[in-house]
Chain A
Amino acid sequence: MSAGDTERPVAATSGLPPGSIEEARALIADIPDPEIPVLTLEDLGILRGVHEEAGHLVVSLTPTYTGCPATEAIRDEVERTLAQAGHVGAQVRLTLSPPWSTDWISARGRRRLTDYGIAPPACAAGDLPGQGEHPGSAQVIRFMPRAASLSGVEATITCPRCASPHTEQLSAHSSTPCKALYRCLTCREPFDYFKPY
């Protein structure tokens, strides 16, 4: 697509000025997530790479959830940021594989989430207690409790406000599709939990 672009005939043959890939990468890395603005694209782990193709910048992003409405907002923001910095004809490519996981959220991102009042996700890789897919592997809140069939234990989710491990899930679905609603049993405050994915 960019090879036939007539807007920058010079760049198409001579490549980009030295350092512009690094500079563009740094710009994009700092773009905040539209849904959780304390996280940057770098913190989220969705910036897969920036490279040059026929004199134009190509940015690879990994979408988070298939239905996440923020994906398109992020793509537009990256294109706008690059255009403002003078990178005409920069392209954003969505790369599905390998699939994004909450395990890719950086250590800094996890700290920022906690400071913001959102409990960061537990590890998504492997089978943690309470993350089994079968309903029998976790505690089902029933109309009539039936102690004998309650086999699993939930992973410990720590309260982002008071750091207490005594918390309980109120709803698996919360303010956005990626979060669950929890309550701290120590400080009694409700909080969002970023679900492992």
Chain B
Amino acid sequence: MSAATQLSNTAVLDTQQTRAHQAVVLRLADSCLILAHRLSQWCGHGPMLEEDIALTNVSLDLLGQARLLLSHAGRIEGRFDDGKEGRGRSEDELAYFRNEGEFLNWTMTELPNGTGPHEDYGLTIARNAMVAALMIPLWEALASSTDPELAAIAAKSVKEARAHWRHAGEWLVRLGDGTELSHARAQAALDRLWPYANEWWQTDRLEQQAADAGIAPVLASLRPQWNERMHALLQEATLKEPRATGFISTGKLGEHSEHLGFLLAEMQSLARSHPGAQW
């Protein structure tokens, strides 16, 4: 192999790695953003004032995390051409001017807050618990990422994820170990959401490349910690762990459920009607 070929191979590898780097940051950013938007839809609809405030608080945390991650993803994008920091897209361009297929959030985060016309608090709580049970070990691992910016975001965010876990966990216990009706609805919510966790445990090339570079762990490596957390919580909540299924969603690959388009239409309408608007 000539020196020139070697050099260009290295460049190709670097570009691939930068793309993998951006992809894992975007998957995380989009998951935070989309779940933040779903939770914001509870604003004014919470089952009681305190919970209305609690959910919008959780939403605000996730939005803050999404903003830091999106800005970071934009800066990584700026390196695509020449390996140097350059101008990639801004957080707003990434949030408001990408289409459905360009979003890389986990499908679980885009599912509506209920089934049918009604919101279901049990479903929101079960989802928040399942996501937080992943985010805690994920942020903990990211805090020692080879990407210092990502590590700094993680060290802050893990504190917030712990508070989200506590909030959702307390409610899942309250609902699961509550009345016959609250128990049945919490169990139904879990049964509905459980298959969507499978997406996390599927490792693709991008995730593997980012892991090889020490940027982010493959999510599958966090599965034992996730299982342990959920197992303890479900026991306390007197809920049954749903049976494993072969269903695998593909949101992180940009292939989404029918729900994301509607969510984006709502979330992006203001920015697209008035591009560049400021207040």
**Contact surface of A with B, Cβ cutoff 8 Å:** 63, 65-69, 96-100, 133-136, 138, 140-144, 146, 149, 170-174, 177, 181, 195, 197
Contact = CB atoms under 8 A, between A and B. Distances in A.
Given A99-B156, A133-B165, A66 B233 contact: no
A102 to B, nearest CB: 10
Nearest to B151: A97
B179 A143 contact: yes
Output the residue of A66, A100, A149, A172 with the most chain B CB within 10 A.
A66
A67 B62 contact: yes
Interface of B: 50, 53-54, 57, 60-65, 67-68, 136, 148-149, 151-153, 155-157, 159-160, 162-163, 165-167, 169-170, 172-174, 177-179, 182, 232-233, 236
B50 A171 contact: yes
Nearest to A142: B174
Contacts of A67: 60-65, 67
A135 B166 contact: yes
A99 B155 contact: yes
Contacts of B159: 99, 197
Nearest to A146: B177
A144 B233 contact: no
Main secondary structure of the interface of B (DSSP, over half): helix
Contacts of A172: 50, 54, 166-167
Main secondary structure of the interface of A (DSSP, over half): loop
Contacts of A171: 50, 53-54
A99 B169 contact: no
Given A68-B64, A96-B156, A173-B54, A149 B236 contact: yes
B65 to A, nearest CB: 5
Contacts of A99: 152, 155-156, 159
Given A97-B148, A138-B170, 18 more contacts: A66-B65, A66-B153, A66-B160, A67-B67, A96-B68, A96-B149, A99-B156, A99-B159, A134-B166, A135-B170, A135-B233, A142-B174, A143-B174, A144-B177, A144-B179, A146-B177, A172-B54, A172-B167
